[in-house]
Amino acid sequence: MTTTHSLINQLIQLQELVVASMQKKVSQPTARLDELNKSIAALGADLPQQVKSHFNRLIQKHPEAIVPVANELCTGCGMGLTKSMIQAVHKADGLIRCPNCARFLYFPQQLIARDRVSRSYGEARKTGISRFTSPELMMVGLKGATSAEVLAEMCTRMADEGFVKDGEHLLDLALQREAIISTAVDNGLAFPHVRGVEGGGLSMAVGIHKKGVKFGGPGRTLSRIFFFVVIPTATSAFYLKLIAGLSKTFREKEVSESLLACNTEEELWKALIKATKKSFK
What's the whole-number mean pLDDT along residues 174-193? 90
**pLDDT, tens only, 97-109:** 999 999 999 988 7
Please state, rounded to an integer, the average pLDDT across all residues of the chain. Answer: 88
Instruction: Tell me the CA distances in angstroms from 135 to 3, 11, 72, 241, one per residue in order.
Output: 47, 37, 33, 22
Is the pLDDT at 120 greater than 60? The verdict is no
**pLDDT, tens only, 214-260:** 998 666 689 999 999 998 877 777 888 899 899 999 989 999 999 99
> Domain boundaries in the chain?
4-106, 117-275
Q: What's the pLDDT at 241?
A: 87
Ramachandran angles phi, psi of 100, nearest 5°:
-95, -55
Classify 4-106 by CATH class: mainly alpha
Q: Which residues pair with 66 in a beta bridge?
A: 104
**pLDDT, tens only, 260-279:** 999 999 999 999 999 999 88
Q: Does domain 117-275 have CATH number 3.40.930.10?
A: yes
